[in-house]
């Protein structure tokens, strides 16, 4: 599959925390933690589970960082 999105990070699923509709999928990306919030339906359709190799595709217009 080819995508126009340039921000693609390869990683491994560490854990999945499912809610009623949304799941938080924790990834290890080169030793860094990344959490993606996706639908539970998407987790099931993709067959995601701990240990799966995945590519995180990030498409956002802004990234904000704040400190006190």
pLDDT digits (tens, 9 = 90+) for 10-40: 999 999 999 999 999 999 999 999 999 999 9
Q: Which domains does the chain have, with CATH numbers?
A: 7-58 (2.40.50.100)
Identify the bridge partners of residue 53 per DSSP, sorted by sequence position: 12
CA dihedral 14, 36, 58, 3 (to 10 degrees): 70
Surface-to-core class of residue 19, CB atoms within 10 Å of its CB (0-12 exposed, 13-18 middle, 19+ buried): exposed
Share of the chain above pLDDT 90, in %: 76
Q: Looking at residue 65, what is its pLDDT?
A: 86
């Amino acid at each position: 599959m080819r995508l126009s999105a340039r921000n693609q990070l390869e990683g491994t699923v560490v854990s999945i925390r499912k809610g009623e509709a949304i799941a938080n999928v924790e990834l290890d990306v080169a030793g860094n933690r990344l959490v993606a919030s996706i639908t539970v339906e998407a987790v099931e359709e993709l067959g995601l589970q701990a240990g799966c190799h995945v590519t995180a595709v990030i498409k956002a217009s802004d990234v904000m960082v704040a400190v006190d």
